[in-house]
């Protein structure tokens, strides 16, 4: 695949999807920590240190969506969203991958998640994965469930009471699956 992938999102901003660069790791870690502290979509309870982030997010392939190009004032490209892609299981089952996604809170609903999801499916197939599996999609995360189902994922299981959200609400988690190819 040729990177970066370009797209115009809903607010008419041109964005690019590319492998994460080392200098972007701290920005992505900070964004992930914002999402973790929100307490609605990720299983972690506390912000991740640089080492914890590296172990969790950077164990295989990591991607970002950033603004494309520089404006007239030479502002650096801004990270709008990010995702990782890695085997969901070891060894004989490593042909099934897992991915995790984050989008800047103020930019949700602009098509960044869909762009990442569509690209992830192409990238995963290109990297030789045969399927994508999400282990813990909280049942209250309706935007994600709707997105993944629209991209062909099916719900293959439910884990009762899997998550205690930031507000202590206990919710089920869904397992979602999409065969590639």
Residue whose C-alpha is closest to residue 33's, from 18, 11, 52 = 52
Q: List pLDDT tens digits, range 121-159.
A: 999 999 999 999 999 999 999 999 999 999 999 999 999
**pLDDT grade, residue 68 (50/70/90)?**
confident
pLDDT of the residue at 75: 65
Chain Cα centroid distance, residue 60:
13
Average pLDDT over residues 26-52: 97
Q: Looking at the predicted structure, is the pLDDT value of residue 72 above 50?
A: no
Mean pLDDT of 22-35: 98
Q: Please tell me the distance from the alpha carbon of residue 61 to that of residue 156, in angstroms, as a whole number.
A: 25
**Residue-by-residue DSSP string for 114-136:** HHHHHHHHHHHHHTT--EEEEEE
Query: Which two tokens mark 170?
Result: 């206990």
Q: Average of pLDDT values for 4-24?
A: 95
Six token digits for residue 59: 């164990």
pLDDT digits (tens, 9 = 90+) for 107-123: 999 999 999 999 999 99
List, in order, residues 6 or more apart from 54 with CB less than 8 Å away. 25
Whether the pTM exceeds 0.85: the reply is: yes
Mean pLDDT of the chain: 95
Region 162-177 average pLDDT: 95
């Amino acid at each position: 695949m040729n990177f970066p992938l370009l797209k115009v999102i809903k607010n008419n901003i041109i964005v690019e999807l590319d492998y994460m660069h080392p200098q972007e790791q701290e920005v992505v870690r900070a964004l992930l920590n914002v999402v973790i502290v929100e307490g609605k979509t990720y299983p972690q309870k506390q912000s991740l240190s640089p080492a914890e982030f590296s172990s969790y997010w950077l164990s295989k392939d990591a991607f970002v969506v950033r603004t494309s190009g520089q404006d007239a004032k030479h502002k650096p490209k801004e990270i709008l969203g990010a995702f990782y892609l890695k085997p969901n299981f070891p060894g004989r089952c490593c042909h099934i991958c897992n991915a995790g996604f984050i989008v800047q809170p103020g930019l949700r609903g602009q098509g960044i998640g869909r762009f990442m999801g569509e690209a992830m499916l192409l990238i995963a197939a290109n990297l030789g994965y045969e399927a994508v599996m999400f282990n813990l999609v909280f049942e209250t995360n309706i935007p994600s469930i709707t997105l993944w189902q629209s991209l062909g994922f099916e719900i293959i299981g439910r884990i009762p009471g899997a998550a205690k959200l930031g507000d202590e609400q206990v919710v089920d988690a869904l397992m979602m699956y999409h065969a590639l190819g």
